[in-house]
Structure 1
Amino acid sequence: MFAQPKLTICVPSRNRQRYFQETIRSQLMNLRTDVEFVFADNSDDASIMNGFMGDVVADPRVKYLPSGDRVYPMFENWDRCIEAATGEFICMIGDDDYVDIDVADLLIRSQQEHKAVDVMVWSRLTYNWPGNRPNHCNVSVPLKTGVHRLPRALLYQEFFSWKGSKATPNMAFGFYHGAVSKRVMDKIKGRFGGRYCEYPTVDFENVCKVLVTAENMFYSERPFSVLGSCAESNSAKIKITEKITEMHAAFMVETGRNIDEDPHMKNFPFPSILGLAACIAQTQHWFLTTYGYSPIKGWEANFAEACGINCGMMGNVAAYDGMVEGYRSAFARWQGGKYLQNFKPVDYVEPTDAKFFTGIAEDYLLIDEEVAGVQTPAELYHLVDQMVAPVKDLTLNFHEHFKAA
């Protein structure tokens, strides 16, 4: 092992031991020694992972944090991962995801070109595990090879303005499927609340804090990780009304309070149960009001448009109708209904009627997620890795302006 690992991969988990174990196996297959792994279990039955990790902890790169005598809220489980990390950079992934630890080579190369690197994020692939495939899906593989330095002011504007005609804000720079320097994370801990993670929506809380703390931020158009979605994951549940309600209730119990009733929500009628857009906006609202930052002018209309797009992501017409009704009611109550006119739900399309195709589309290769019989995010990544440029061939455009998509 190196005196200080270049990169720490943190993987927190709760009650998804089968996927967690596969993710651990997949990550450890790469034998490079300048990386560290922190695996944090937070399950009701600690014995499952404790037994599995018996031999794994012999790997000197591994730190294992077992379940405790109570269930940790998500932000506490993520926080203890970072407390245990010693790497120069921190990357957080889910227990059903995969990240190529050779992204450390990109960090090294970028530091050689531009000495100060605070944050590096990259494009991500998506993958539905077998057992979570209600519809036939493809995987969009970015083919561009640029690595760009982006000004913080642009990233802040993009994220907090909600512009871009998407269901979520653009340019979310943080440690979730990205790499943030431990130095920046330590600044965040000292500046905000005395801990690395403090708000239940941990990934987007981190984005808010990174965007006001880090200075030198970089983006690779080449993908280096896979966002997996197993049947038990939150991403698999956010499209069906019954599952949303169940997930929301469990999340609040584990958090220890209903965050939709926090004081900062008094004049912000968008509870997290409404959908992903509301959940992100709630996190931004908490951050801005708690730490005294001013919102970006005009964000409200853009947010309303994003909520309309969010509605179209639902898995059935009942969930779609419920989300539309919920958002419409919230916008009618918010600021005298001023932005209700900007809330325009996209038409609902039955998933079975959605178009499916493979091939080249602009700068992307669309492939069937069942290609070659892949069974895990790691298997998908290793296949795609043969199709995209290696790190040494990426173009470092650190002196050119990059236009956000």
Structure 2
Amino acid sequence: MFPRPKLTVCVPSRNRQRTFKETIRALLQRPRVDVQFVFADNSDDPTIMDTFMADRLADPRIVYLSSPPETLSMVLNWERSIEAAEGEFICMIGDDDYVDVKVIDMINRVQALDPALDVLGWHRMSYNWPGMPRPPANVAVSLETNVRKIPRELLYTEFFGWRGVPNTPRIPIGFYHGAVSKALMDSFKERFGSYCGNPVVDFDNVCKVVSSAKALYFCGRPFSVMGACAESNSAAAYNTDIYKQSHKRFMKEVGRNTDEDDYLKDTPFRAEMGLMACILTVQIWFTKTYGYEMLPGWEKGFAEACSRNCEYMDTKESYDHTVRGYRRALRQWQGGKYIPFFKPEPFIDRYKARLKTGVIDGKLFLEERLPGISTPEELYAFVEQIIVPPEEVTIEAQPARVAKSA
């Protein structure tokens, strides 16, 4: 019998068997016994993954949850993944992503200095699988070499105050491409009624982490890759036509249109408008449901973030549509008070733009389409030769300074 795993990597999936198989192959290559893998299929045809997993179930590190007779919502599929987890920490990734389980060594090192550790986040890289309908892109690789403790109050201010745009509120602290202790996750279930309450499960978890965790650390060295394939929701975030289809499909699986939920009656912003509006709807749901508060001045930061959302769009048509949607909502909202802060930069055609490469502001920018790289794991293996080894990362136990509220 193996001892209790230090980390459980949960990989929920739905109808993306092509990348799911590659992700499973990549994860199982690491010959460690202090990790558990929970693979939760939720596809229309269960036989594809059942057949693929048949010869792998002898691996004692694997828990395989086959597709049920009735399709589960994303919330329930993620929920059952967490229920099956036995590790001391939990990391969730998508079926087109990759995480290096050597992050366990970093968890152990931080715990040796601070046994109270309950959340470890890290920089992530991004990668578009071949066939992804997006413009040419580069990969930003953090060259930082330290781990630092971050006060929860700082993260709460950043997230619920919409400080630090453009990086906020996409805070890399949560179980999605991060490690959250099972004890903390269990406390969420006891306190909030479930592990995952909102259909936007990753930001549901961020809300809970930044409002409840006690010992949070962030590692500047990347340990994972957020992949995006043609079938993923990530493809939809940058193209209005695809986003509409994805949103409609998502709401059908949820069983209702959450944009019509009662808690949104006082705001004109809806998830269908774009990523920033989607995040805001989760924040409104969380604060109204559980008695928390947005921080004073958040509206200005949100309006600025809406500008950035427009600038992410891949096509001029998507850019124009997103600008119109946000501008219309901002004019309706609080008498148009925050429309002056909505200033999207002119559209840039990334299909024609030149990619930046080299070291810029502490990050190494690489062209995404490198020879021999066609999966997130292959990208990580290449980058691993460049960045600092995990054992040489410096741990700073002194917490970062809490910024004053604006």
TM-score (norm 1): 0.97
Deviation at 1:403, TM superposition (A): 8.1
Shift of 1:165: 2.6
Give the counterpart letter for 2:214 in structure 1. E
Q: Which residue of structure 1 lines up, in the alignment, with residue 26 of structure 2?
A: 26
In structure 2, the residue matched to 1:163 is 163
Give the C-alpha shift of residue 222 in structure 1.
Answer: 0.1
1:214 positional shift: 1.0
Alpha-carbon shift at residue 147 of structure 1 (Å): 0.2
Unaligned runs of 5+ in 2: none
Deviation (angstroms), 1:353: 3.3
Within-5 A mapping of 1:313-352: 313-352=312-351
Note the 1:145-156 alignment, pairs <5 A.
Answer: 145-156=145-156
Mean alpha-carbon deviation: is it higher for 335-344 or for 38-47?
Answer: 335-344
Q: How far apart in 2 are the matches of 1:39 and 1:208?
A: 25
Find the residue that maps to 1:352 and give its secondary structure. coil
Show the counterpart of 1:395: 394
1:73 matched to 2:35? The reply is: no
Task: Give 1:388 deviation, angstroms.
Answer: 0.9
Aligned partner of residue 212 in structure 2, secondary structure = coil
Partners of 1:367 and 1:403 in 2: CA distance: 33
Partners of 1:157 and 1:352 lie apart in 2 by 36
Unaligned ranges ≥5, structure 1: none
Q: Which residue type is aligned with residue 43 of structure 1?
A: S
In the TM superposition, 1:95-244 aligns within 5 A as: 95-132=95-132, 134-166=134-166, 168-169=168-169, 171-192=171-192, 194-244=193-243
- For 2:44, the equivalent position in structure 1 comes to 44
SS at match of 2:95: coil
2:84 is aligned to 84
CA deviation map 1:22-54 (0-9, x unaligned):
000000000100000000001011111111110
Checking the alignment, whether the CA contact within 8 Å between 2:133 and 2:235 is kept in structure 1 is no
Once residues 17 and 223 of structure 2 are traced to their aligned partners in structure 1, the CA distance between those partners, rounded to angstroms, is: 24
* Secondary structure in structure 2 of the residue aligned to 1:212: helix
Counterpart residue number, 1:8: 8
- Is the CA contact 2:110–2:395 (under 8 Å) kept in the aligned structure 1? yes
* RMSD of Structure 2 on Structure 1 (CA): 1.3
Greater mean deviation of Cα atoms: 363-372 or 151-160: 363-372
Query: Are the structure 2 counterparts of residues 280 and 266 from structure 1 closer, same or farther at C-alpha, using a change threshold of 3 Å?
Result: same
Asked if the contact 2:154–2:402 (Cα under 8 Å) also holds between the matched residues in 1, the reply is no
C-alpha distance in 1 between matches for 2:26 and 2:287: 38
Q: How far did residue 76 of structure 1 move?
A: 0.8
Deviation at 1:281, TM superposition (A): 0.6
Q: Percent identity?
A: 52
Q: Return the TM-score normalized by structure 2.
A: 0.97
Higher mean C-alpha displacement, 40-49 vs 355-364: 355-364
Counterpart of 1:53 in structure 2 is 53
Structure 2 distance, partners of 1:152, 1:64, is 34
- Counterpart in the other structure of 1:245: 244
Task: State the Cα distance separating 1:168 from its structure 2 match.
Answer: 4.4
Q: Distance in 2 between matches of 1:403 and 1:139?
A: 30
Report SS of the residue matched to 1:219: strand
Distance 1:170 1:257 in 2: 26
Tell me, in whole angstroms, the C-alpha distance in 1 between the residues paired with 2:50 and 2:150: 42
Q: Secondary structure at the match of 1:351?
A: coil
Deviates further, 332-341 or 211-220:
332-341
The CA distance in 1 between the partners of 2:402 and 2:371, in whole Å, is 35
Report how far residue 160 of structure 1 moved: 1.1
How many pairs were matched up? 403
Decide which moves more: 101-110 or 65-74: 65-74
Matches of 2:125 and 2:82, distance apart in 1: 24
Report the Cα offset of residue 334 of structure 1.
1.5
1:304 corresponding residue in structure 2: 303
